[in-house]
Amino acid sequence: MPETALIALYTIIVLLVLILVALIRIGSKFKGIGHRPTVSEPSSSEKETAPETSHDGAFGKFLGEHPELLALKKSEQFAAFRAWRKEQGLNWEGK
């Protein structure tokens, strides 16, 4: 009888150690998840300064020279802007 109790005790100790190791591994994985960088949506101020919506640089200069284009759709504005850039020699020519 004492041999059976000793085997049961050792078995329980081994199982507890295995459970402890599993919990430590799971905890380290959760800790790693907490330190991952998150991807966030751009704030409203960042959205307002996006190149598509700002009138800085060459596009702003172009719209300043041609204010009538502000009434057009963006796609039409950009088509005219591309043509203007080509006329001004601002495009890179692929060779």
Note if the pTM is more than 0.85: no
- For the segment 58-87, what is each residue's pLDDT rounded down to a tens digit? 788 888 888 888 888 889 988 998 888 888
Query: Given this model, what pLDDT does residue 18 score?
Result: 97
- For the segment 14-65, what is each residue's pLDDT rounded down to a tens digit? 999 999 999 999 888 877 676 666 666 666 555 555 555 556 777 888 888 8
Amino acid at the residue 39: V
